[in-house]
């Protein structure tokens, strides 16, 4: 069997009891952290707490050579793959699960807290008003992707909020600069006049949640990664109140 176990939002304590049981019953434990950051976790502390040896996989181990590695073992042993957040958010994991099924390997999912749901609770924005989410990635060969910006605009036209996942090494300030560059290229000012919410270290004992206009967020110190962004759409009066009281948004927003 191949069991996908979500590690939750931040540190090694966020795993569920079902996930911990799956780990302790497994023959081999793998982990990958290229789809989701380690956050407050370390392999050493995880091994100590879970009482199992953990082997970290690279991207190629899952996307290119899984049939000779993790999947080959899962045909005859109980194998667990650990990943940050929930176990099936990344399409990489779905692809691996489908290949396992094609090889006749039984699969199981143990879910855990995910940033995709946590942002609503942390910000006070209503979960059912989020539209399509998108990842902001660094420029490639000096070309900045316009897809995140276009996704924000499309969601806002429908009154919906946009969750922006950031590349695992990217800060809120870096992401805002990329979005600002795209907006300048389009000669627009949609984001400049909008309240934006930044969240750092969700799931930790001291997460940072701050809502403000882009020029103010650019200079706000969010601290250590991981970071995410939300661009709100049309706000309900209770959402406005929440952003002011929880995320310290300007009262004249």
In the chain, what are the domain boundaries? 2-110, 115-245
Does this model's pTM top 0.85? My answer is yes
Longest pairwise C-alpha distance within the chain: 62
Residues 22/127, Cβ–Cβ less than 8 Å = no
* Structure confidence at residue 38 (pLDDT): 74
What are the backbone angles phi and psi of residue 133, rounded to the nearest 5°? Answer: -95, 165
In tens digits, the chain (253 residues) has pLDDT values of: 999 999 999 989 999 999 999 999 999 999 998 887 778 888 999 999 999 999 999 989 999 999 999 999 999 999 999 999 998 888 889 999 999 999 999 999 999 999 999 999 999 999 999 999 999 999 999 999 999 999 999 999 999 999 999 998 999 999 999 999 999 999 999 999 999 999 999 999 999 999 999 999 999 999 999 999 999 999 999 999 999 999 999 998 8
Q: Choose which CATH entry (3.20.20.70, 3.30.530.20, 3.40.1010.10, 3.40.50.150) describes domain 2-110.
A: 3.40.1010.10
- How many whole angstroms separate alpha carbon 80 and alpha carbon 3? 5
What are the backbone angles phi and psi of residue 28, rounded to the nearest 5°? Answer: -140, 135
What are the backbone angles phi and psi of residue 166, rounded to the nearest 5°? Answer: -110, 145
- How many whole angstroms separate alpha carbon 238 and alpha carbon 243? 9
Please list, in sequence order, all residues whose beta carbon lies within 8 angstroms of the beta carbon of residue 49, skipping any fewer than 6 positions away.
12, 13
- How many whole angstroms separate alpha carbon 85 and alpha carbon 216? 29
Pairing between strand 55-56 and 28-32?
parallel
Kindly report the CATH number that applies to the domain delimited by 115-245.
Answer: 3.30.950.10
Tokens of residue 41, six digits: 């976790």
| Residue where the block lists tokens 């995709």 | 116
* Structure confidence at residue 88 (pLDDT): 86
| Residue where the block lists tokens 């931040």 | 10
N-terminal to C-terminal alpha carbon distance within the chain = 52
């Amino acid at each position: 069997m191949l069991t996908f176990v979500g590690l939750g939002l931040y540190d090694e304590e966020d795993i569920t009891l079902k996930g911990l049981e799956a780990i302790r019953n497994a023959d081999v434990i793998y982990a990958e952290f290229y789809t989701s950051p380690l956050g407050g976790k370390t392999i050493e502390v995880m091994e100590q707490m879970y009482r199992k040896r953990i082997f970290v996989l690279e991207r190629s181990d899952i996307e290119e050579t899984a049939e000779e590695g993790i999947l080959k073992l899962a045909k005859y042993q109980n194998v667990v793959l650990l990943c940050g957040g929930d176990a099936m958010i990344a399409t990489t994991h779905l692809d691996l699960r489908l290949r396992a099924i094609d090889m006749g390997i039984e699969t199981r999912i143990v879910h855990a807290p995910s940033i995709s749901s946590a942002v609503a609770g942390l910000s006070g924005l209503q979960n059912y008003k989020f539209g399509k989410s998108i990842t902001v990635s660094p420029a490639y060969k000096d070309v900045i992707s316009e897809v995140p910006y276009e996704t924000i605009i499309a969601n806002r036209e429908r009154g919906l909020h946009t969750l922006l996942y950031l590349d695992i090494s990217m800060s809120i300030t870096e992401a805002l600069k990329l979005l600002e560059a795209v907006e300048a290229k389009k000669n627009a000012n949609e984001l400049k006049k909008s309240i934006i919410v930044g969240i750092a270290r969700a799931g930790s004992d001291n997460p940072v949640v701050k809502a403000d206009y882009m020029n103010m967020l650019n200079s706000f110190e969010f601290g250590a990664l991981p970071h995410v962004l939300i661009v709100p759409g049309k706000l309900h009066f209770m959402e406005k109140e929440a952003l002011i009281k929880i995320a310290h948004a300007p009262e004249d927003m």
